[in-house]
Structure 1
């Protein structure tokens, strides 16, 4: 199981706010979650998703396209980090629990 975090940044929006684009991305993620393919968490700075790496890469491709559906957006910058650990199956919450044990 892999964990990714990403942020999709539409360039050239009418206002500094991108919350409507973030909401559209969350709708896509919820669809994948309901199918049992991923789990995800929205944070103030990014979105974190866990699942099979090939599924996650498909998710990234789909969410990257979200801002382009708006006719005024012609450029999108998507930042992605991937944590792909192969010796253990760990969920996002388990990583947090591991850190909390040391506090």
Structure 2
């Protein structure tokens, strides 16, 4: 399992708020059955890399089709091959240090 961190920044919407875009992304994540955590600046999603990449594309395209004239999508993938990884254990590992 890998972690994908994604943030979508709509540009040209006429407003500084983009919470509706986050809400739309969360609906797509839930519809596809992923475990996720919304943070103040991004959303972290657990899954296998091919499915995560497909979801990232859906989130990006959905934001583009919802009225923004430009979308900046940033993604970061954390993928380990030496052991299983999930959000809860990653956070706990930092707290245990």
Q: TM-score, normalised by structure 1?
A: 0.89
Instruction: Please give the root-mean-square deviation of Cα atoms over the aligned residues, in Å.
Output: 1.0
1:67-88 CA distance string (max 9 Å, x none): 2222x42211100111011111
In structure 1, the gaps of 5 or more residues are none
1:55 is aligned to 2:71: no
Q: Is 1:39 equivalent to 2:7 in the alignment?
A: no
Point out the structure with max Rg over C-alpha: 1
Structure 2 residues not aligned, in runs of 5+? none
Q: Distance in 2 between matches of 1:97 and 1:80?
A: 23
Give the count of matched residue pairs: 97
Aligned to 1:90: 85
Counterpart in the other structure of 1:100: 95
Question: Counterpart of 2:30 in 1: which secondary structure?
Answer: helix
Paired residue secondary structure (1:65): helix
Report the Cα offset of residue 90 of structure 1: 1.1
TM-score by length of 2: 0.94
Q: Over residues 32-69 of structure 1, what are the superposed CA-to-partner deviations in whole Å (9 max), with x where a residue is unaligned?
A: 12xxxx21111111000011100000000000012222
Matched, 1:76 2:71: yes
